[in-house]
Structure 1
């Protein structure tokens, strides 16, 4: 920063002068880029342990409940939003739409993918706005290590490029590490664009107007690819040494697996390799028992538990929900320790509220960081979930007036 006294001394002037705003503006540090991470938990939450019986409308303190207990240590950074709805489109499985359409930009009446209202999801819309200068526009992760493929992509993909085109998530931490921090063997001596330009110029003379436009679009995509390569090479030179050891593979313990994947996207944010990430903790429905280490002595079927009555099943569901809340609190702390929390919006939620009733109404969403207001924001008259997604999109400067079936932004959320 150029201090006024330094400016006066360098100019040989000893009398007082007014503060020059232009010097202050020139010295101001640039605002950090916006970052977004979305964590998805399947099959809803045990509602009786998640929320108190009465929920006052508006903004209040974060409730103290058995499920939310692990968030006490980060409550000053967290917002719980309740009373958000999505519309289920009949004709497809109730669980299949939970995750695949959680971040979707399709209005419910648009079934562009067979009977599914899938479309470009919010993470990719945000990536086009905030991820143009990073090595990776976005990073799609999953901690679904089930070897059996009992369900379709609609149950295990929350990130979609467009209707029917899922962004398949990487499940192996080692592969993620190599993608982020791996060393290439050096790029080509000539520009990729230069290599095709001569042929393109001669070809262009023989093409009609529509084909020339297609060729120009192709060349632009080649240039964009080349720029990504150049950024990756620059990042490799800048990093020199990866910020963490290369993982051997998928950790044995469930908690270690989740935390390692979160650490990978936090490091990617720290090194500006990407600014948008999604993490699917587990797929919807998928009736395969899951081992929750240090919680139970044998694997548990989360989906079946949501449809099982009795105290034992309820207590197990609450333990699993708390396990996910502890993980969320860990990620909040990691972002805070890295100095990234205020510039990162960290979201966690599920596509249904009650896993037994398959209820698409009164969804609960957690948000940390990002400069949003803190506490518990409850909408008694209900709001579309898309209102929240529109609010996040507009915070980046995107000139969107609507997102899916949104009706307005959540003005109460803005800090």
Structure 2
């Protein structure tokens, strides 16, 4: 317990040295003394939101549970989340409308979070507009160094498609938010770019960390020690990726030197960078593109297949073998999402966990890639968003219920004053 009678530690306190600037996690020392007027007025941990996008839809019967409510069955694709079910909500039966005249895959991705209804074409034939993450960031991200963080694991070298296939965050019609693909660059953005002579961000900030620890209670010292250890482990993973040999596959770019060779590690590393950004309150809003829509480039899903697979082509290949492969890809993506959810759940914050104050969503703007269907979109959310979300249920909707109803509900939950979003016709229970 923190027994200091001095003024609370400022939330933006940094550990500095040789270019590094390590922000601190939430500590008891940041809360005013109990019983004081300042303590009663002090805000709790802020809400954070993230959206993780998967392309080309999913194998519907391997993804969606048949049972609604809290006792939903763990389907083959969602099985990696079974032990996390009390932290989750599943949504089935949510739809989007397709606007004709543009690519069905492009619109699936670029309009997943769009605030424009499908009939509103503000960007050529596309109904792109300011997306939900940008709207939310204007509400809860104004006081953070990075109002919104956008990451992508698209390491394809053949840029055969336009930005509409790989951009899920838009600042306005035709104005896509650029995404970072290099974990090293993301790490430097979060923790500072080191002097070339320094080996680690912790080495250069060690003196500051020692001074800080002397004024903290036992619980806070343990929190800081665990946090710094997690930063070092994250840094080592980035360094190992940068030291790996060049990828032999000519389809994949090697411009980003710290992209891991292992596909799962790449996705987990980018997810863990979002966790780190949330923990130190560098940002409260993030998006992560797992892969772009329709990119007809084979890639190796390490530990799943022995040979590269063309995800998009498989969705249009008939037969049980192709369907089985697609279901394995879906499960692979869910496994990486489950890793990030566990990291959030294991991270302590204000007497609970970081996950308690987050809402992280996994989904796609396409339901069934075989027929380019926008109905029954796959969507899983994790986290309690500071008590705003009641978790543990499968919400199954009948009829055509707009996905925008859910996005409107999320926006309102974090204080956005809005009566409508895109083609919403109401709200849903979070």
8 Å CA contact retained: 1:62, 1:75: no
**SS of aligned partner of 1:176:** helix
- Please report the TM-score for the alignment, with normalisation by the length of structure 2: 0.75
**SS of aligned partner of 1:71:** helix
Change (3 A) 1:32 1:43: same
Matched, 1:94 2:104: yes
Matched, 1:313 2:327: no
Correspondence for 1:72 among 82, 90, 104: 82
User: How far apart are residue 296 of structure 1 and its match?
Assistant: 0.6
Q: How many residues matched?
A: 342
User: How far apart are residue 55 of structure 1 and its match?
Assistant: 5.4
Segments of 4+ moved more than 4 angstroms: 237-243
**Residues of 1 paired with 2:193 and 2:295: CA distance?**
36
**Residues of 1 paired with 2:93 and 2:286: CA distance?**
25
**SS of aligned partner of 1:400:** coil
User: How far apart are residue 297 of structure 1 and its match?
Assistant: 0.7
8 Å CA contact retained: 1:78, 1:374: yes
Where do 1:160-239 residues align within 5 Å?
A: 160-183=170-193
Determine the structure 2 residue equivalent to 1:343.
357
**Residues of 1 paired with 2:189 and 2:397: CA distance?**
41
Change (3 A) 1:2 1:99: closer
Q: Which segment is superposed worse, 239-248 or 400-409?
A: 239-248
8 Å CA contact retained: 2:64, 2:378: no
Determine the structure 1 residue equivalent to 2:308.
299
Change (3 A) 1:2 1:183: closer
**Residues of 1 paired with 2:405 and 2:393: CA distance?**
18
**Residues of 1 paired with 2:404 and 2:157: CA distance?**
33
Determine the structure 2 residue equivalent to 1:356.
370
Q: Which segment is superposed worse, 173-182 or 281-290?
A: 173-182
Determine the structure 2 residue equivalent to 1:259.
268
User: How far apart are residue 24 of structure 1 and its match?
Assistant: 7.3
Please give the per-residue CA displacement for 1:144-175, whole angstroms capped at 9, x wherever unaligned.
11111010000011011100011121111011
Any unmatched runs of 5+ in structure 2? 4-33, 196-210, 213-223, 243-257, 348-352
Where do 1:138-157 residues align within 5 Å?
A: 138-157=148-167
**SS of aligned partner of 2:283:** coil
Please give the per-residue CA displacement for 1:258-311, whole angstroms capped at 9, x wherever unaligned.
010011110010011000000000000000001101111110000111111112
Please give the per-residue CA displacement for 1:91-146, whole angstroms capped at 9, x wherever unaligned.
00100101100000011111000000000100111111111111100000000111
Any unmatched runs of 5+ in structure 1? 4-21, 186-236
**SS of aligned partner of 1:175:** helix
8 Å CA contact retained: 1:2, 1:27: no
**Residues of 1 paired with 2:63 and 2:345: CA distance?**
25
Please give the per-residue CA displacement for 1:328-377, whole angstroms capped at 9, x wherever unaligned.
11111000111210110010000011010111111121000023332210
User: How far apart are residue 63 of structure 1 and its match?
Assistant: 2.5
Determine the structure 2 residue equivalent to 1:232.
none
More helix, by proportion: 1
Determine the structure 2 residue equivalent to 1:35.
48
Please give the per-residue CA displacement for 1:236-256, whole angstroms capped at 9, x wherever unaligned.
x99997553162200000000
RMSD: 2.5
Determine the structure 2 residue equivalent to 1:331.
340
Where do 1:102-113 residues align within 5 Å?
A: 102-113=112-123
Correspondence for 1:245 among 215, 235, 258: 235
Matched, 1:51 2:64: yes
**Residues of 1 paired with 2:99 and 2:111: CA distance?**
10
8 Å CA contact retained: 1:139, 1:277: yes
8 Å CA contact retained: 2:63, 2:378: no
Determine the structure 2 residue equivalent to 1:197.
none
8 Å CA contact retained: 2:344, 2:354: yes
Determine the structure 2 residue equivalent to 1:209.
none
8 Å CA contact retained: 2:63, 2:77: yes
**SS of aligned partner of 1:409:** coil
8 Å CA contact retained: 1:108, 1:405: yes
8 Å CA contact retained: 1:79, 1:368: yes
Please give the per-residue CA displacement for 1:53-72, whole angstroms capped at 9, x wherever unaligned.
x555xx34232211111111
Determine the structure 2 residue equivalent to 1:377.
395
User: How far apart are residue 408 of structure 1 and its match?
Assistant: 1.1
**SS of aligned partner of 2:372:** coil
Determine the structure 1 residue equivalent to 2:255.
none
